[in-house]
């Protein structure tokens, strides 16, 4: 019993010592807090809603000062950026000569046979000049009709209506029918020609008719066409022309073009031979026309710059199915620049001359000296072709249209023409 009691006393002493050690080290408190079974004995921590509000004040932050705006030098002002100006628009108007798209009835010039159904053939060597231009104008010197029509004229030209495709294939945009061949087959021929042009969508002008046509890019062209032989020298009727120009001006076109069938055949010097006609053309420019276009002489005549206008006295033949050996082989394309500024104002610019031959075949024998060369018979294959720059032919054709030609007038003997060509 004493041993048991002594053991118990020793155990109690050791236990009391251990508790004392734990209390001094704080280990017991940690032990009790972590023990799951003593959770109810621990006071709950205050909730967030019970905690007093805490005011936090951020320390002031000093922002850097903005950079100072540059100051202008005394007496100087800031220059605003200039607004770029709109570039002016530039367009090309092309002018060509007579378009006789057949041979004379009963005369085997064989225009249709040479073309052989290819409506693109006649323009095939010059089409590149008309593909991208704004507008191409020429003189239609034949009748379009599929009827059998008789004529009392010494020269008369009737093409099948399908030959209007030549104009479309070549890029021709407008033709005048006011010429001495429009009446070859009387009123029936004129009606058929006009109906054909309308059906193919080709704008055209009649004698003493003024109209407004609009080009693809919106240029408004006032065009007046006239043929007059009241005085026997194909002089334009000035009174009618001036009245037409006045009427066109009232419609406010961008440009006015007078297309006259005028002058003397195979004459290279209109100022000498037809001075009255030249003066009428100049007065038309003074009245408000911008361009005067001439046809009839079957040869080139000079270009004249007059005041702010341009006079093309004659553009000669271009596609000439009426003869297999025309008296004058030279022709040309004139391309005139037209400028439209940002305000819509239109003015004439510079022009370019492309000297051509009416045929693509050699006209004379190149193996002979130029002074004794003879013309080939039937040299005309009805396909205008530009001359090579720098050649004798190029220089001659250019001189006829720039006014420097000093050769004699041309001549043609038509006395036995039908017999020679038949």
Q: In order of start, what are the domains of the chain with their CATH numbers?
A: 89-421 (3.60.21.10)
Segment (H or E) for 256: strand 255-261
Question: At 158, phi and psi to the nearest 5?
Answer: -125, 120
For residue 114, pLDDT over 90 is answered with yes
Confidence at 152, pLDDT banded by 50, 70, 90:
confident
Residue range 291-312, pLDDT digits in tens:
999 999 999 999 999 999 999 9
CA of 238: how far to CAs of 48, 207, 242, 277, 319, in Å?
110, 14, 6, 9, 29
What CA–CA distance (Å, rounded) separates 3 from 11?
Answer: 12
**CA atoms of 149 and 271, how far apart (whole Å):** 39
User: What is the β-pairing status of strands 291-295 and 143-144?
Assistant: unpaired
- Quick one: CA torsion of 246, 252, 254, 255, rounded to 10 degrees? -10
What are the tens digits of pLDDT across the range 123-144? Answer: 999 999 999 999 999 999 999 9
Span 191-244, pLDDT tens digits: 999 999 999 999 999 999 999 999 999 999 999 999 999 888 899 999 999 999
Q: Helix, strand, or coil here: 270? A: helix
Q: What is the mean pLDDT of residues 92-117?
A: 88
Query: Where would I find the H helices in 72-211?
Result: 111-115, 164-170, 186-199
- Each residue of 283-305: b (16+ CB within 10 Å) or e? ebbebebbbbbbbbbbbbbbbbe
Is the entire prediction scored with pTM above 0.85? no
* Least confident interval from 38-52, 94-108, 305-319, 333-347: 38-52
pLDDT band at residue 85 under the 50/70/90 scheme: confident
Cα–Cα distance, 335 to 55 (Å, whole number): 90
- Check whether 371 has a pLDDT greater than 90: no
How far lies 305's CA from each of 33, 45, 47, 140, 256, in Å?
117, 110, 105, 25, 15
């Amino acid at each position: 019993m004493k041993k048991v009691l002594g053991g118990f006393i020793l155990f109690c002493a050791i236990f009391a010592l251990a508790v004392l050690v734990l209390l001094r080290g704080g280990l017991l408190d940690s032990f009790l807090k972590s023990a799951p079974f003593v959770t109810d004995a621990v006071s709950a921590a205050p909730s967030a809603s019970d905690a007093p509000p805490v005011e936090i004040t951020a320390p002031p932050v000093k922002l850097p000062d903005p950079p100072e705006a540059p100051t202008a030098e005394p007496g100087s002002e800031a220059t605003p950026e200039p607004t770029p100006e709109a570039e002016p628009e530039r367009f090309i108007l092309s002018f060509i000569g007579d378009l006789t798209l057949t041979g004379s009835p009963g005369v085997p010039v064989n225009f249709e046979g040479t073309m052989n159904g290819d409506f693109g053939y006649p323009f095939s060597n010059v089409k590149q000049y008309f593909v991208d231009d704004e507008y191409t104008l020429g003189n239609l010197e034949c009748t379009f009709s599929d009827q059998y029509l008789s004529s009392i004229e010494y020269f008369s030209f009737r093409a099948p209506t399908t030959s209007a495709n030549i104009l479309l294939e070549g890029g021709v945009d407008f033709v005048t029918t006011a010429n001495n061949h429009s009446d070859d087959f009387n009123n029936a021929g004129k009606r058929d020609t006009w109906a054909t042009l309308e059906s193919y969508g080709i704008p055209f002008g009649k004698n003493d008719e003024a109209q407004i046509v609009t080009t693809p890019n919106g240029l408004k062209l006032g065009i007046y066409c006239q043929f007059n032989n009241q005085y026997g020298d194909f002089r334009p009727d000035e009174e009618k022309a001036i009245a037409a120009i006045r009427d066109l001006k009232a419609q406010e076109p961008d440009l006015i073009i007078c297309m006259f069938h005028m002058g003397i055949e195979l004459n290279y010097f209109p100022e000498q031979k037809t001075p009255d006609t030249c003066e009428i053309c100049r007065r038309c420019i003074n009245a408000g026309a911008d361009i005067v276009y001439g046809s009839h002489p079957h040869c080139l005549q000079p270009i004249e710059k007059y005041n702010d206008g341009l006079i093309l006295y004659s553009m000669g033949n271009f596609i000439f199915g009426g003869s297999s050996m025309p008296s004058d082989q030279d022709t040309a394309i004139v391309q005139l620049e037209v400028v439209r500024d940002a305000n819509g104002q239109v003015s004439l610019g510079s022009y370019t001359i492309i000297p051509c031959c009416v045929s693509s075949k050699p006209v004379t024998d190149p193996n002979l000296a130029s002074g004794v060369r003879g013309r080939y018979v039937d040299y005309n294959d009805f396909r205008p072709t530009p001359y090579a720059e720098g050649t004798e032919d190029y220089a001659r054709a250019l001189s006829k249209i720039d006014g420097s030609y000093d050769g004699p007038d041309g001549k043609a003997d038509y006395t036995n023409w039908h017999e020679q060509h038949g």
